[in-house]
Amino acid sequence: MKREIFADIVQGSPEWRAKRLGRVTASEFATTISSTFGKEKTTKNTYMLTLVGERITGEVSEKYVNKHMDRGHMLEEQARDFYSLLNNTEVAQVGIITLGDEIGYSPDGLIGSAGLWEAKSREPHILLELHKTQRIPKKDYIQCQGGLWVSDREWIDYMAYWPGMKPFIRRLHRDKKCLIEIRSGVDEFLAELHETMEWYAKLEV
């Protein structure tokens, strides 16, 4: 599949939203490979139908944004500056990286020719738990590995942060087993999406 980097598109802009329309994105890869039972199945089905709706209407669905997400977006620049200073490196911003016509990833930053940077705003109690357990949440881990797949890069620095606290930073390299799981899950998810599109096309009004 063809891989493209759209460096001049600003994340959050109408152009960026248009590029994401109907695409499976790395932030939801964990949803595509989730369980086929119970609540996870419901979430997976809702996500699939949302993308189908976007493809049919040509309009991006409105997603709920809470105060924590808003705060995270506002603090991301601060976190990027801190990370750059700490590591004496530049974090380049891009809009989106696409893989073929149906998959996308909007990284928080690119580092050199081989690295990525992923930032998460985490409240103090969650950040403390990360430091204690040294374990990255599964959804975040899958997003990071998915980003490595879509971008074809070698490593990603995961950074959880909160103002006034020590950040949690861990470098992740390509996890072959996880990458296989992601690819398989995304393929199955897209197959179901295509079947739903075909079903819809045959509906009689």
The whole-angstrom separation of Cα 153 and Cα 73 is 24
Please give the average per-residue pLDDT across 184-201, as a whole number: 97
Fold of 3-201: Lambda Exonuclease; Chain A (3.90.320)
Q: What percent of the chain has pLDDT over 70?
A: 93
pLDDT band at 62 (very low <50, low <70, confident <90, very high): confident
The model's pLDDT over 72-92, given as tens digits with 9 standing for 90+, comes to 667 899 999 999 999 999 999
Global pTM value: 0.91
Domain boundaries, the chain: 3-201
Question: Quick count: other Cβ atoms within 10 Å of Cβ 101?
Answer: 10
pLDDT at 72: 60
Q: What percent of the chain has pLDDT over 90?
A: 86
The model's pLDDT over 40-55, given as tens digits with 9 standing for 90+, comes to 888 999 999 999 999 9
The model's pLDDT over 144-191, given as tens digits with 9 standing for 90+, comes to 999 999 999 999 999 999 999 999 999 999 999 999 999 999 999 999
| Average pLDDT along the chain | 93
pLDDT band at 34 (very low <50, low <70, confident <90, very high): confident
